[in-house]
Every structure is written in C-alpha cells, then in structure tokens.
Amino acid sequence: MNIIFIGARGAGKSKVSRNLSKQTEIPVVSTDSIAVYEAGGLPIPKFVDKNGWKAFRELEYSILQKLQNANGIILDCGGGILFDLDDVGNEIVSQRKLDLLRKIGRIVYLERGIEELVEKVKGDKTRPDLSKVTSYKQILEKRLPVYQEAAHFKLNLSKLSKEEAVERILDWLGLKSK
C-alpha cells in the first residue's frame, strides 16, 4: 500500500510525510526531489524559468508513470500535482495525473485555510511564482476544491500538530506506529 499526500504549498505535506515515515518506517518519496534529480540537479524555480510550467507538469507526469508500480511508499507530491496547462497556458485539472495517483495509492489531502497558506509561503524564494498575473490566493481558490474532490481522506492541519496529524492518518489507515 502507498500513501499519497496532496495539498497546496505550505500545507505541511513534507513535514507530515517525514513524521509518518518515522512512525511507520515506510520510506518517503518526494515528486519535487525526483524532479530536481531528473532535471540534472536543476532546482525547480530554475527549471521553470528555463523550460516553463508546461514542461514541469510533463515532468511530474513522467515521474508518476515511473511510480505507478511502487509499493510501500509515502508519496509527498508537489502542490500542483493535480494540474496541467492547456494550450494557452491556463491551469486545468489533470485527469491523467489524478488517474495515476489513484492507481498508486490512497490520497490524503492536507488542508489549511487560504490566508494561512498565503502567509506561510510569502517571500519563499525556493518556490517559483505560479503565475505572473494571478495571485496565489486566486490560484488557491480554484485549486482547493480539486484537492477536496481527489482525496480519499481529508485532514485540516490548521489546529493540529504534525504528531496529531500522523495519529489521525494512522487511525484512518488502520496502522499502528512503530
């Protein structure tokens, strides 16, 4: 069984997935880390500057194709994993990636409020701008319902510690910590 974390930037996917890994000894695989590796070590913001978001979304799809037969991993997905770009560059739901994610494992949506997310990522230079014309808040307003719909399990982290979050996920999965 695989456990997949989705959610917006700043939701806490990486922290919760690492904490869950410590509790279960299930290894964590990060789509963003694999993307950097596959790009020859080029950080994601530089990859996007050089190649564009459409190329990055294709890279994510390629990564999911490679992971579709994985077993026994925690998959920490980048915030845009459920999205692609149309021919004119507008963000659209990626049914092809959602289908692969559902094939790979059980999807956990880690959620927070929009204002909290905007505040958490403000000024973070390790994350490329998602758009030159649309604010992160506007992007979140469109993305959050998609995360909700895609998930098998939803967990709001606004008032939970990462330890409490892990306990709830373990309960949902019917697993015990080590």
What pTM was estimated for this model as a whole? 0.91
pLDDT at 155 (0 to 100): 96
Predicted pLDDT at 130: 55
Query: In this structure, is residue 178 part of a structural domain?
Result: no
How many whole angstroms separate alpha carbon 7 and alpha carbon 81?
Answer: 9
Residue 110 forms part of a structural domain: yes
CA distance 159 to 12: 12
**DSSP 8-state code for residue 130:** S
Question: Mean pLDDT score of the chain, rounded to an integer?
Answer: 90
Structural contact between residues 151 and 5, judged by C-beta atoms closer than 8 angstroms: no
* 15 marked as part of a ligand binding site: yes
Domain boundaries, position 62: 3-173
Compute the CA torsion angle 89, 94, 100, 103 (nearest 10 deg). 170
pLDDT, position 48: 92
Residue 70, in any domain of the structure: yes
Ligand-binding site membership of 18 (annotated): no
The DSSP H or E segment spanning 110 is: strand 106-111
52 known member of a binding site = no
Is 12 among the annotated ligand-binding positions? yes
The answer to whether 32 is a known ligand-binding residue is: yes
Q: Is 79 annotated as a binding residue?
A: yes
Q: What is the CATH number of the domain that holds 74?
A: 3.40.50.300
Q: Is residue 65 part of a domain?
A: yes
Q: Which residue has the higher pLDDT, 102 or 135?
A: 102
Give which of 60, 54, 32 is closest to 126, Cα–Cα: 32
171 is in an annotated binding site: no
Do 150 and 111 touch, CB atoms closer than 8 A? no
Q: What is the pLDDT of residue 117?
A: 82
Check the annotation: does 84 bind a ligand: no
Q: Which pLDDT does position 9 carry in this prediction?
A: 85
7 is in an annotated binding site: no
Residue 73 lies in a domain: yes
Residue 13 in marked binding region = yes
**How many domains does one find in the chain?**
1
- Would 27 be classed as within a structural domain? yes
What pLDDT digit, counting tens, does each position of 63-97 carry? 999 999 999 999 999 999 999 999 988 899 999 99
Residue 78 located in a structural domain? yes
pLDDT tens digits, one per residue of 115-163: 888 887 676 555 455 555 567 788 888 999 999 999 999 999 989 988 8
The verdict on residue 28 lying in a domain is yes
